[in-house]
Copies of this chain bind each other. A is one copy, B any other.
Amino acid sequence: MKAIILTIGNEVLSGQVVDTNAAWIAQQLLEIGLAVREKWSVADDISEIISALANATDKGEIIITTGGLGPTADDLTTEALAEFMKVSRSFHEDTFDRLSKMFASIGRVPGPQHKIQCMLPEGVTILPNNAGTAPGMYFNFEGRHLISMPGVPMEMKAIFDPFVIELLKSVRTGPRRRSHTFNTIGEGETVLEDLLKVITANVPSNINFAFLPDIYKVRVRVDVDSDSNEDILLWEEIIGQVRSILAPCLAGENEVTLEVAVGNLLKQKNWMAGTAESCTGGYLAHMITSIPGSSDYFKGGMVAYSNSIKSEYLQVSQDILNQHGAVSEETVKAMAIGAIKQLKVDVAVSVSGIAGPGGGTPEKPVGLVWIGLANNKGKVMAQKIKLRRDRLNNIRAASIMALILMHRFLLDE
Contact = CB atoms under 8 A, between A and B. Distances in A.
Interface string A383-395: 0000011111101
B304 A300 contact: yes
Interface string A277-305: 10011111110111011110011111111
Nearest to A301: B303
Contacts of A312: 344
A388 B306 contact: no
A358 interface: yes
A190 interface: yes
Given A27-B16, A43-B37, A71-B190, A281 B292 contact: no
Given A43-B37, A190-B72, A286-B282, A210 B14 contact: yes
A339 to B, nearest CB: 11
Contacts of A181: 16
A162 to B, nearest CB: 15
A32 interface: no
Interface string A1-24: 000000100111111111110111
A302 B302 contact: yes
A221 interface: yes
A15 B11 contact: no
Interface stretch (A86-94, A211-219, A235-243): A211-219
A111 interface: yes
Contact of A41 (B18, B22, B313, B393): B22
A393 B20 CA distance: 13
Interface in A137-173: 152-154, 157
A30 interface: yes
A300 B302 contact: yes
Contacts of A255: none
B295 A288 contact: no
A12 B43 CA distance: 20
A357 B281 CA distance: 25
A312 B54 CA distance: 64
Contacts of A277: 282
Nearest to A210: B10
A210 B17 CA distance: 12
A303 B302 contact: yes
A189 B72 contact: yes
Given A71-B190, A286-B282, A16 B298 contact: no
A16 B299 contact: no
Interface in A53-91: 70-74
A283 B40 CA distance: 32
Given A23-B18, A299-B306, A111 B281 contact: no
A206 interface: no
Contact of A18 (B18, B38, B313): B18
Task: Count chain B CB atoms within 10 A of each CB in A282, A288, A302 and give the residue with the most.
Answer: A282
For the complex of A and B, 10 pairs with smallest distance between CB atoms = A281-B289, A15-B26, A282-B285, A282-B282, A15-B27, A39-B41, A15-B23, A301-B303, A300-B309, A282-B286
8 contacts: A13-B36, A15-B22, A15-B26, A16-B210, A17-B214, A19-B22, A37-B43, A299-B305
